[in-house]
Amino acid sequence: MKKYKIGYTAGVYDMFHIGHLNVLMNAKQYCEHLIVAVSTDEVVRANKHKAPIIKYEDRIRIVEAIRYVDEVVPQTDYNDKITAAKKYGIDVMFVGDDWKGSEKWARIEEQLKDIGVDLVYLPYTHSVSSTILRDKIRGQ
């Protein structure tokens, strides 16, 4: 396994669950310093077309408390991964392997490669997600 200096991943981290923890734990194995971007409430509403259950300030505090996380930053642009990569000086970005093969992430992977940043796909936890939790709460 290649060890990177600065890693980066981003997410909403609403209703923090074992899938979130798995991504952060796995990402930290690959890097010395893990930066986690938490989507602001505005970003979630604009890009996922729903409001988060847990407000941004609380999601930040939860993610900051995870021992695998070295730094937490706001994600204010859901789609611009290249600016984030340059801003934080990362050498690796992490994303769930449920995105592998998608047009969006294939394009991002090429753009990252152009600036010397690797993209690592981490195992996605299929048994749980914030959507699954929302459905269970609603009784669906």
Beta-carbon contacts of 44 under 8 Å, excluding residues fewer than 6 positions away, are 12, 14, 50, 51, 52
Phi, psi angles (nearest 5°) of residue 5: -80, -60
Catalytic machinery residues: 48, 50
**pLDDT tens, 98-118?**
889 899 999 999 999 999 999
**pLDDT tens, 42-84?**
999 998 888 899 999 999 999 999 999 999 999 999 889 999 9
Prediction pTM value: 0.89
Provide the residue ranges of all domains of the chain, joining segments of one domain with +.
Answer: 4-137
Class assignment of domain 4-137? alpha beta
- Segment 39-46 long-range contacts (CB within 8 Å, at least 24 positions apart): 39/10, 39/11, 39/12, 39/13, 39/74, 39/75, 39/78, 40/74, 40/75, 40/76, 42/76, 43/75, 43/76, 43/77, 43/78, 44/12, 44/14, 46/78
Predicted local confidence at residue 135, as pLDDT? 66
